[in-house]
Amino acid sequence: MSRIKTIAESLIARGAIDNANRADTIVAVADSGLQEVSSLNAQQVARENVSAAGSAIRDADFAIETSHLTRARILVSTSNSVLSLANAQPRVGFSAL
């Protein structure tokens, strides 16, 4: 009877080991899936950061060009004012030079 008891205990132990191995496999697969999802999330965040940086650069470029345009308009307006004064009173234009 002790031999039967030993065989039964050994089968129970073997089943427990098999179950533990299956559980380890399931945990490993789940962990692998989580790492993959985490990696995909990191890639998505990186893409969003690159896109935001590109947007900030385009905004800065637009601001620079707008300031250049504004400067050019001010110069044209000032030049037109000086020219109209010079045409109205020739001596004023030459005295400014």
Do residues 92 and 85 make contact, with C-beta atoms less than 8 angstroms apart?
yes
pTM of the complete model = 0.48
- Asked if residue 93 has pLDDT above 60, the reply is no
**Residue owning tokens 């590109």:** 54
pLDDT interval class at 14 (50, 70, 90):
confident
The percent of residues above 90 in pLDDT, for the chain, comes to 1
Do residues 72 and 65 make contact, with C-beta atoms less than 8 angstroms apart?
no
